[in-house]
Homo-oligomer: A and B are copies of this chain.
Amino acid sequence: MLNQSAEYALRAVVHLATLPADQQASAGDISDRTKVPIPYLQKVLRTLTRRGVLHAKRGMGGGFCLAKSSGEITVLEILNAFDSSPQRIETCPLGIKGHTHLCPLHTLIDEQVANAQRVFATTTIHDILGSDSEIRPLCDGLARVSLGLPKDNR
């Protein structure tokens, strides 16, 4: 359900969400922390910047940071940026003319997609980082990486 670009993007965003608000991270830093290979990561970071998830500051001391708060970035937004969200079924996939709306089977499948989309649309990066799990989302190292906590545990 999650393609590699979306997985890498989520790792990068999760990492950036744990940095202090005024801190930027270079692609090299993000690659070190998330274990995402640099060339692939750079493509992912460009897409996230173009989609308004990240802000890129050029030049010395520049780097990437979240373009908005982690509570405003949904999982669905990142999946959509990399075509990794399960797709709703809008019309009969078989092109049957008489099927002016979905048949019971396609309705059933579409409902499952809709349910998943709804959950991804209402879950933010902040929600994921605020989870009670001791496992840090998508990155090596232990949590708890709650926002604003000291960084000694990363």
Docked pose: A10 CA to B86 CA in angstroms: 20
Give the residues in chain B near A149, CB-CB below 8 Å.
Answer: none
- Count contacts on A: residues with CB < 8 A to the other chain: 44
CB < 8 Å: which of B98, B102, B105, B141 contacts A75?
Answer: B105
Give the residues in chain B near A14, CB-CB below 8 Å.
Answer: 105
Docked pose: A10 CA to B108 CA in angstroms: 13
- The segment from A20-28, A63-71, A127-135 that touches chain B is A127-135
Residues of A within 8 A of B (CB): 1-2, 7, 10, 14, 35, 75, 86, 93-94, 96-109, 111-113, 115-116, 119-120, 123, 128-129, 131, 133, 135-142
